[in-house]
Amino acid sequence: MSINLAEAVKLKSIITKRIQERTIQVHSLTHVIIEKGEQPKTPDYSLEMLEAELKELRYDSRKLDALIYRANIDNTVVFKDEEMPIVEAIELASQLRAEAQFCKNLGSEEKEAFYHNSGDAMLYRVALYDPMTYRNRANELEKEAHRLSNLINAKNYQVEIDFDDSNYF
């Protein structure tokens, strides 16, 4: 049975959440509060059952991770006439977003702003660059990041990996 890479990424999130939920359940199953002399009530779901389920979830999580990593290395997208593995494209998209944020910060500054009045002199803080240039660059970088993310998302729906998701859906 196979699923596409986009489904695999969602499934990985679901499995991770189940692992967290079952771990919390383990903590609630291992201790009870009773009055002295009373017998603890045996839970319907045993610790052994939870441990077995956690073992299976962790196994599926590892296997799914490996399949996702392999797919992200073996499959490519073309961005700005450059073919790159999905994993590299994901990193590039992150870098483009970070650079866009950097440019936004520079672009939000004023070219010249009052700084301080020191007796007879009025001091101004002057940017040694053109903030508008950085505002425009931030917009372009954000557009590039969105285009690349769209390419990655489209590819994620095309790539199939061999994983049985019947335990989860």
Decide if 90 contacts 71 (C-beta within 8 A): no
Domain limits for position 145 = 77-161
Quote the pLDDT of residue 22: 95
| pTM of the predicted model as reported, rounded to 2 decimal places | 0.82
SS3 (DSSP) at 115? strand
Rounded to the nearest 5 degrees, what angle is found at the Cα of 26, between the Cα atoms of 21 and 32? Answer: 125
SS3 (DSSP) at 114? strand
pLDDT digits (tens, 9 = 90+) for 102-131: 999 999 999 999 999 888 899 999 999 999
Gap between the Cα atoms of 115 and 84, Å rounded: 47
Q: How many domains does the chain have?
A: 2
Q: pLDDT at residue 10 above 90?
A: yes
Which of 19, 42, 74 is the last residue in one of the domains? 74
Strand partners, 123: 116
Which of 56, 74, 92 is the last residue in one of the domains? 74
pLDDT digits (tens, 9 = 90+) for 48-88: 999 999 999 999 999 999 999 999 999 999 999 999 999 99
Which of 28, 50, 74 is the last residue in one of the domains? 74
